[in-house]
Amino acid sequence: SSVVDLEYELFAPNGTSSTGGEKGPVVILHGLLGSKRNWQSISKAMSRELQRPIYPLDLRNHGSSPHVEPMTYTAMANDVLHFLRKHSLSNVSLIGHSMGGKVAMAAALSPELPRNAVSNLIVVDIAPSRAASLSQEFAGYFEGMQKVEEARVGTRQDAENILTEYEKDPMVRAFLMTNLVKPQNEPVKFKVPLRILGNSLGELADFPQDLGGRTWRDGQVVAIKGRRSKYVNKHNFPIMQDMFPGAVLEELDAGHWVHSEE
């Protein structure tokens, strides 16, 4: 399957090169139904704080990046490796949240990984194993989003009223609605391909089996867990340690949406 060019933003402090010089750049991968937009304020703050260029990306079928099948971790990891090569980035600190964390791990474990491409891996609230509860949760979101499109409503408020039946938490609803667009003289719709993503939920809940026997030892690995989230636990963190010897676990007082809470 062929790679696509991912859309991105670049937050670089004045006077730093786009490749980050000695320190190297930071590349950020969002979660399912997220986009580079969710990471804008964090990226700005990080570029000031770290004095390094920060690249939040839109993964395939998300944000402004192309809509294309297949929606697999191998395909997404290849897109990211293509991005690093195209922009001549090495010594990268790769940060991924949820689905993006799995993409980051798949990229680090990939046989296609260029030498010295990645030096740090920060995986936010996900493990390289099956997360069945994640696909159930998101199946509900997709059902609600499909109902919004079928209803052909004219305003964001109408869309939110429909979503409320599927998701009670206003923070999660607001997150889902970052994908809503209102074309002129047309009903609201979602800018992500609901069919492709909805059909890929089983795949996205899992982790590529062919990476199971591989390890990555080229740098530091930090797993960040939301204390109120169940996605990283004592059953699956050891799986991560098998693939990433030396991985350390940090807890933040947050749920799964660590980056918007902290």
- Residues involved in catalysis: 98, 256
Task: Give the residue among 44, 86, 83 at the shortest CA–CA distance from 94.
Answer: 83
Nearest-angstrom CA–CA distance, 238 and 223: 12
Strands 220-226 and 248-252, by their bridges, are parallel
Amino acid, res. 112: E
Q: What is the DSSP string of 125-186?
A: S--SS--HHHHHHHHHHHHHHHHHHHHT-SSHHHHHHHHHTT---HHHHHHHHTTEE--TTS
